[in-house]
Structure 1
Amino acid sequence: MKAKGAKNETISWQAGHCYLGEVLVACSHTGVCAVLPGESRDELVAELARRFPDAILIHANDSRADWFASVMRYLIDSRRPLSVALDLRGTEFQCRVWQTLRDIPSGSSASYGDIARRMGMPAASRAVAGACAANPLAVVVPCHRVLRSDGSLSGYRWGIRRKQAVLSHEQGLSER
């Protein structure tokens, strides 16, 4: 578990475009701390500033930065392992949920109840949903792979349209 952000911490960011729209990737000295899809770069930079109000945000302006390139490659093909460290910031419970989500293979899904049971907390499906909603690393921590117990889509912090797009993209990869 890590605090939201230290005063004067430096966080570098870069933005790019993919099938999700505009995507901002941010990196601290520890690793990637945010992957945010959205409609515009300005909107995403404002969201990053809200997440890390005491940080110094620096536009990396280098699409070849290892951390940025690695995340963009992962967005294109999530079957390959992510080759960059992550800086997960949340409660102990949230971090446990996010780590459990990372064990769901690309092209697969699980229910909120499945995740709670995998964690040894079968009654915690609502808390799992809350941790999914707090996930700051879109696609990289695959909360999009968590569905309702009947298999239908439920809320997604970045919109149901994006959740469906990521699931469809991953399903297409698994059919290759």
Structure 2
Amino acid sequence: MATPEQINYTRIAEAIVYIRENFRSQPSLDEIAEKVNLSPFHFQRMFTEWAGVSPKKFLQYISIEYAKNLLNDKQASLFDAAYEAGLSGTGRLHDLFIQIEGMTPGEYKNGGAELDINYSYAESPFGDLLIASTSKGICHMSFSENEILSLDDLKHRFPNAGFRPLRDGIQQNALGIFQNDWTNLSQVKLHLKGTAFQIKVWETLLKIPMGKLTSYGNIADKITRPKASRAVGTAIGNNPVAFLIPCHRVIKSGGAPGGYMWGLTRKSAIIAWEAAHVNSDT
């Protein structure tokens, strides 16, 4: 049976689809509420509880113009200046708390042989998750529409590993990223299976501050492979750890959202949710 949070997200996702398709006309609260079959009062309250800001403010963040504004001439300094200067609270979250470690060549080649992987299912503001960990860190996190299919995908990524349904401390700590108070969050460690190029791209994604966006071309420039935008896009598309490795913060240079393994509606929701939380925290 769906939880109230899941029901709310389903309604919000429907609203986001409508906003994304009609943002140029700046639809009113009444219009959006009608599309999701809620009264304006109920929709306003539900939406504000979920996002932390009003639907009107959220509309501003989710508009394509928001994405374009973030890709102006100041973007060149986001990776370095914003990271060095630091943003308060949520804006510094990823940069301060995440460490990354690639699997050894042997682990990679053998498909996770001799690795013991714990996994569990969890709720997030953006839908259900499958999260998995080794003794070294989070190795997989994906939005899950179907628990069986999600687990099959995890096992396909690590065909020779051992699996155990268990929520361990590594997972529990990582899931704290969805809470409103991150002050006691310990370091989130990642243990990733990927090529050297993929891991380099994923490391670069971690430097994008929460609430900010960048382009595939900018990522290619940061890893000193300016002509490798297509390869960068492929590596981003193979990201095994949703949200923690923020591939949702990468859009096309013209401001279009680009692709997302877990759906463009969810990508839009995450981008606007992060922007709303950063702006409300500063």
Structure 1 residue 71: Cα displacement: 1.9
1:119 matched to which residue of 2?
A: 223
1:17 matched to which residue of 2?
A: 123
2:92 matched to which residue of 1?
A: none
Structure 1 residue 141: Cα displacement: 0.7
Contact 1:16/1:24, CA 8 A, preserved across alignment: yes
Gaps of 5+ in 2: 1-101
Q: In the TM superposition, what are the counterparts of 1:32-111 in structure 2 within 5 Å? A: 32-60=138-166, 62=167, 65-76=168-179, 83-111=187-215
Q: Distance in 2 between matches of 1:120 and 1:31?
A: 28
Q: What count of residue pairs does the alignment treat as equivalent?
A: 173
Structure possessing the higher radius of gyration over alpha carbons: 2
Structure 1 residue 166: Cα displacement: 1.2
Structure 1 residue 14: Cα displacement: 1.2
Q: Distance in 2 between matches of 1:122 and 1:41?
A: 39
Structure 1 residue 77: Cα displacement: 5.6
1:153 matched to which residue of 2?
A: 257
Deviation string for 1:49-68 (max 9, x for gaps)? 111111111000x4xx3212
Q: Secondary structure at the match of 1:166?
A: helix
Q: In the TM superposition, what are the counterparts of 1:118-137 in structure 2 within 5 Å? A: 118-137=222-241
**In the alignment, residue 102 of structure 1 is paired with which amino acid?**
L
Deviation string for 1:63-110 (max 9, x for gaps)? xx3212222111346987772211021111100000000000000010
Change (3 A) 1:28 1:107: same
Q: Distance in 2 between matches of 1:78 and 1:165?
A: 20
**In the alignment, residue 135 of structure 1 is paired with which amino acid?**
N
TM-score, length-scaled by structure 1: 0.90
% same residue: 34
2:37 matched to which residue of 1?
A: none
Pair 1:172-2:172 in alignment:
no
Gaps of 5+ in 1: none
Q: Distance in 1 between matches of 2:161 and 2:224?
A: 36
Structure 1 residue 22: Cα displacement: 1.0
Q: Distance in 1 between matches of 2:191 and 2:127?
A: 23
| CA RMSD across the alignment | 1.9
Q: Secondary structure at the match of 2:265?
A: helix
Q: Distance in 2 between matches of 1:170 and 1:19?
A: 11
